[in-house]
Amino acid sequence: MTYHLLADLVLLLHAAFVAFAVFGGLLALRYPRMPWFHLPALAWGVAVESLDWICPLTPLENRLRRLGGEAGYDAGFVEHYIGMVLYPESLALELRYLLAIGLIAVNVAVYVMVALSRKKR
């Protein structure tokens, strides 16, 4: 039970990190120092998606699940939890590149908004 709970906590942390990497730039509209935290998270997210890396939270969650008697999963976090809902087949590397480009594009747009809003002040 403890391992299952710890694995679920890692899952929540992982989901929060992914959400922060995608949408964290919006926090810079309110908190001027947020880019110091968000840009490294964004860079990590882009690297994991485009370089076919495995985030260290994925093996940690899998290990905790296995210690708790559950089955782990072979794919990365995005492929397993998000990909299986959005895309019935596993994510091809080309699609992962597109996701990384989309991640960059969304955040460039957000940081342009941040710059424009600060310029008005």
The average pLDDT across 52-81 equals 75
Chain segment 4-39, per-residue pLDDT in tens? 788 888 888 888 998 899 889 989 888 989 999 999
- Render 23-83 in DSSP notation, one character per residue: HGGGGGGT-TTTHHHHHHHHHHHHHHHHTT---THHHHHHHHHHHTT----SS-HIIIIII
pLDDT tens-digit profile of 86-120?
A: 444 456 677 778 888 888 998 899 899 888 888 88
Task: Look at residue 52 in the predicted model and tell me its pLDDT.
Answer: 76
State pTM to two decimals. 0.72
